[in-house]
Structure 1
Amino acid sequence: PQAAARLVNALADAYLAQNVQRRAAEADKSLQFLEAQLPELRQQLETAEVALNEFRNRHQTIDIPGEITALLSQTVELEKHRLELDLRRRDAQARYEPAHPIASALRDQIASVSAQQKRIGDRIRALPKLQQDYLRLARDVEVSSQLYVSLLNNAQQLRVARAGTIANVSIVDRAVVTEKAAKPRRALVVAVGVLGGAAAGFLLTQLLAAMRGRVRDPGELEAALGIHVSATVPESAEQATIDKRKLKEPFLLAQQRPTVGAVEALRTLRLNLQLALADTERGRTILLTSAIPGQGKSFVSANLAFLIASAGPRVLLIDADIRRSSIERYLPVHGERGISDILRERLDPAPFVRADVAPNLSVLPAGDGVDNPGDLLTEERLRGLFAWANEHYDVIVVDAPPILPVSDAVVLGRFADVTAFVVRHKKAAQADVVDAVHQFRLTGAPVTGFVFNGFVPSRVRHGYGGRYGYYRAGYGYGNERRA
């Protein structure tokens, strides 16, 4: 027994040491690649700055209308995203075969971004020659600067990971030798085995039935409905930790952890939805909803609104989920009056808006809970609210209730210019999503794309950067009021 315990403990120690070495080796390999790219990027940045300064010296005054500023922001985001994807693709070429899913996915993402760049390029070519030249030079400086700083930060993180001595596994208990030998009671062992086997079989059957039909891949939704996925947002360990702690203070991931992967994916969503808005007549209102509760639409809505506002536009976030508001988990609007009070008493919206909860970002809270939200969220009552919002804000983001439990989102959809459905990885049945989209489309409201939220890849490595009755029962029906 003593020898067996020593062997088990030695194996655990060896595995722990190997885990530390492997993590350091992976970080070192990625760091070598980054350090080889940094001098080239620094040279590109210096060259771009010199070219822009020379252009400004030759042309002392240049007319820069608002359209040019918006195009510059979009081109910078697209080019930065394409360059980051290209760096990841080149890194993947050294690690995987060309047919590997990661390499294939990166090629598809680069092709998608290139197509969006072509659309923006067509709009730029319609501008006067002087404005085209300025836009190109300013874009090169902004992209090179942002990418260089981003890679410097990633390199520093990898240096820390390479020097680290902490594994991502731990020994829970060491093997010990008991002083008293076990005396198995056969009858008890047999009884426990039979009962345990039966229980395990039953639970496994129930689990498989529950998991059958869950959305595991964004391609399933694209194939079923012909709607593209606007962004795939990875699971955020930071947000999951905050959610488990159930803190009273709000926590906005894009503000507190702006460089994590989930926020980078939300920046991609911001770009895609802004491009979609540009193709609409009004181009102001973004509505986010889901098929069922628990998909993370409030998380996406709050962070998306913050990211749009950080780029300059005046943004109003409307918490229209009166039954189960969650925006207060991300922004400081707890217990305040809002949309329910405005619609019930037909009041002026301005006094109820929390202005500047972040730079350029205002929030209209859900307000007091009511017994009959469906009677408030009517087209006639909402028309005045959205007319006022369109007059005072550049972009309106609406956090709408889920489709299947209630009809509120369908009414709100009539005022949206673009709509994104939030679908959480392995947390929504494909049949529910398809039903919800069909219901939403019956009103003629647009469905722009999906947000595939909480995605957990199978392998994590260093990088850069009777259903409806059940849902209704858990979604604020009856006499229960929201606290």
Structure 2
Amino acid sequence: MSLASVPVAALPRAAEPAPDAALRIDLTALLSILGRNRLLIAATLATALLGGLMVTLLISPRYVATASIQIDQEADRVLEGAEVQPQAGYADADRFLQTQADVLRSRTLAIRVAQRLKLFGDPAFFHAMEAAAPQEAPTTGETARSRDATLRLLQEQLAAALPRNSRVARIAFESTDAALAARIANAYADEFIAANLQRKFDSSAYARDFLSRQLAAAKLRLEDSERALTHYARAARLIRTADTGEGSHAGIPGSVTAASLVQLNGAANDARAARIAAEQKWRAISPVPVLNIPEVLGNQAVERLLEQRAAGAAELQRERARHLSEHPSVRQLEFQQAELDRQVSTLATAIRSSIHDQYRDALGRERALAAQVEGLKQATLAEQDRGVRYAILAREADTNRTLYDGLLQRYKELSAAAGINANNLSIVDRAEPPLAPSSPKLALNLLVALTLGLILAGATVLVREQFDDAVRAPDEVEGKLGLPLLGAIPRVQDIAAEVVRPRSPAGEAYNALRSALVHASPHGLPRTLLVTSSQPGEGKSTTSYAIAAGLARLDRRVVLVDLDLRRPSLHRMLELPNDCGVSDVLARQARLESALQDSRALGLAVLTAGAVAPNPAELLGSASMAEMMAALVERFETIVLDAPPVLGLADAPTLAAQAEATVFVVEAGRRSRGATKDALRRLRAGRAAILGLVLTKFDLRTAGMGHYRVGYYDYGEAEPLRQAAE
């Protein structure tokens, strides 16, 4: 049997993740992550809660007093036109209400409130607002600086809210003095209503005076525009027969010439677009061989000819294989092929010529339409010259008439409604001094602190996990390394003693690994099995020893070979001499039979590494290595190869390419800084058939799986054994 008789495709590979695997949440893995980082999470949450408590205790209590005002879109009208300001339509209600909210927050209203309550320069007000009062000169009263500070505090602590589905506005003011907050909120409500009435009264008086002056000017403009329109129409001999626009003089009758120009111009644009498309098509195919033109390749006749030519070519090949080139049947088929080529070429040339004809036709149509459009342009311009001035004058007269009528009607309404002031604002609730502070809220602050702590802890754990390439638990193997898990070996104090006890936790784990290897591929257990790891000290040699011992207990002829010619360790583990071994056989200084040793206690043969060789890479890749492996295959049913770590050396990839299958060993919880993935990439680059991965030194508690109460491989023990997590 050859050393690589089992095809690589027959060996198990890591399962491809399902398309939605990234969307599923593995609760077990999540619990493991939380368990590993429980101290970090607890410290972060405790710090956040302590910070929230300290902030709450240091903040002074603040009170919010609220008054409410109803804002109607229209006030009650005694007379039509009583409202000087135009009412907002129902479609514009949101904008109207937002305008009222902006007025509430305006500086002007803040000045009225400050004057009403005499807050300018009041030290009690600044004390209640937790602000330092500006220093003033002894001889001056209210300074600009003091006024600005007072108005700024009023505007900053005011909250005006207008819900979308209600017309009741809430005016809220916040302060450390509950009574002062209520007085200011009520003052805002009163001054808002008073200011609204004052604006309406001022607007009415100003509007009447303004409209009287505008009416006189509008009347003069209307008379002048009507007179100018009449004189121009008589001089230009223009008679208006129909209305074509807004107003009574908006335009003149439509022109046939103009309509024809529009229609013909559209046709010219279409012709130009058609010519551009045809030209682009022609330019695209002109340099291309005729048989590569898409239109030629898509032609059904060409497709049939090409199919006939392909069939004829196949027939010609068969005839040439049976007869000489001068044979009549060969000559006949060659003539048919030439005729098919001529027909294809003729048809392709015709298709190409039709594309060029389409381009020339489109170019001619474009030029003809362009000439007709140019002629109509001149005729239309001449016709329009006489109507432009008339349309301008008619539009001006209509505008002046509309403006005059509107001003006259509005002036009459304002004159009738003078002295009537309707208000659309009314107080719903007056503010009362609040009994309980609005802030700080201990529960809310602690909840916010807890939320921020959870976010910070989650982000910290996420970053930590992203940069942590250690494999701690069996369920992380496929996700991080893309290999199937063959077995998980628990961490124990004396692994060598545990391996030979079949019912110990480690012994049971290696028995499970042995079963996985027996059923690892459709061909059963590989004849040559190589065991390696990315770094030293991960349990590679112990795993090799355990696999070989477990297979020997199945009455198989097994040999354990130590191929780590740089740092051999199997002879010390098995307490065997290392005088003669692999290096001596490969250097042809000893025969294989003399180097093999029997381990009667384990029931297997052992081939130690021998003396440390100065050139291990050359020996492992030599012809002597192939000969030794062939001899071992003939003598034993299973050869277990303890290979050196991959590291940056060529030993392991070289040996993995010679073995039927490779088992990769990873120490649980060991950070490799990318060495594990790099080792796997090197093994795959060397065409190694990797069966899967063995996770060694697995500790439940270190892996964050301490919530499991039953240890791995403890079931059925006659006497209590140490749990795998201890």
Query: Which one has a bigger Cα radius of gyration?
Result: 2
TM-score (norm 2): 0.33
